[in-house]
């Protein structure tokens, strides 16, 4: 019997992470020694999804895999250094692979490989090169339950916040968005079913509108507006 390869799963708390990990655990090729998540050290929430650390910890407990937390500052000035230290920490445990839930954004995959391969870590992408429709079909069949907690306000309005990502919600999406939100149209929080041994209790206490100014490569600044759920542990 071949010994399983030791791996770390990079956990966002959302649907793609949950589905990718679900597949990895079913296939049994890897021993996932830890989940790894990055949080803003000022807010103790995950980046983009804004999931509170306590809920991320509850997800890990329900899945049954330890959570390793990497805090970074808001400006990301210490991000690369802290991630390198995390890699060294896991290499001491004979970890050889880092697993991610990306689908088709090649620049992100290339970035991960450029940073991790020189450190002796291989990148694994269980959902890679599938179409968004294929991934969504797999997700809906998996039984994993996820709620929409962030939307790009220019593409999905406030009413989508708090909706379960089910067949009815997917059918209600506008035709011009990626069904998996791979271009940032929406983000989710996974809370039950599939790989979870028990459901994660949380409430959405409020929905706020947030704005981010992103500097583009051509020097211009583009403003993005988002609807963001404020999440509390029950």
pLDDT at 222: 82
Residues 6 or more apart whose CB falls under 8 angstroms from that of 95 comprise: 6, 7, 8, 33, 121
Distance CA(141)–CA(135), nearest Å, equals: 10
pLDDT at 154: 93
In tens digits, the chain (234 residues) has pLDDT values of: 568 999 999 999 999 999 999 999 999 899 999 999 999 989 999 987 899 999 999 999 999 999 999 998 876 667 788 889 999 999 999 999 999 999 987 788 898 999 999 999 999 999 998 999 999 999 999 999 999 999 999 999 999 999 999 999 999 999 999 999 988 999 999 999 999 999 999 999 999 999 887 777 677 888 889 999 999 987
pLDDT at 45: 93
Distance CA(121)–CA(124), nearest Å, equals: 10
pLDDT at 76: 66
pLDDT at 82: 87
Whole-structure pTM value: 0.93
**CB under 8 A, 24+ apart: contacts of 178-182:** 178/132, 179/132, 179/133, 179/136, 180/15, 180/16, 180/103, 180/132, 180/135, 180/136, 180/139, 182/103, 182/104, 182/105, 182/132
pLDDT at 79: 77
Domains annotated for the chain, with CATH where assigned, are: 5-124 (3.40.50.620), 142-233 (no CATH)
pLDDT at 75: 66
């Amino acid at each position: 019997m071949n010994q399983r390869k030791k791996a770390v799963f990079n956990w966002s708390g959302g649907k793609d992470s949950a589905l990718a990990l679900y597949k990895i655990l079913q296939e049994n090729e890897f021993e996932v020694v830890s989940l790894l998540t990055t949080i803003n050290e000022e807010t103790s929430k995950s980046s983009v999804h804004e999931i509170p650390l306590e809920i991320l910890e509850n997800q890990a407990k329900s899945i049954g895999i330890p959570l390793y937390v990497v805090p970074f500052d808001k400006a990301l000035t210490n991000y690369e250094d802290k991630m390198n230290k995390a890699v060294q920490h896991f290499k001491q445990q004979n970890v050889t692979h880092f697993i991610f839930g990306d689908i088709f954004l090649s620049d992100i995959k290339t970035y991960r490989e450029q940073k991790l391969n020189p450190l002796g870590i291989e990148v694994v992408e269980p959902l890679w090169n599938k179409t968004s429709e294929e991934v969504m079909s797999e997700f809906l069949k998996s039984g994993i339950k996820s709620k929409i907690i962030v939307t790009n306000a220019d593409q999905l309005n406030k009413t989508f916040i708090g909706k379960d990502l089910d067949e009815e919600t997917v059918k209600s999406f506008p035709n011009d968005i990626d069904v998996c939100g791979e271009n940032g149209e929406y983000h989710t929080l996974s809370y039950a079913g599939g790989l979870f041994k028990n459901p994660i209790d949380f409430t959405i206490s409020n929905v706020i509108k947030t704005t981010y100014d992103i500097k583009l490569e051509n020097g211009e600044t583009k403003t993005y507006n988002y609807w963001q759920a404020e999440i509390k542990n029950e």
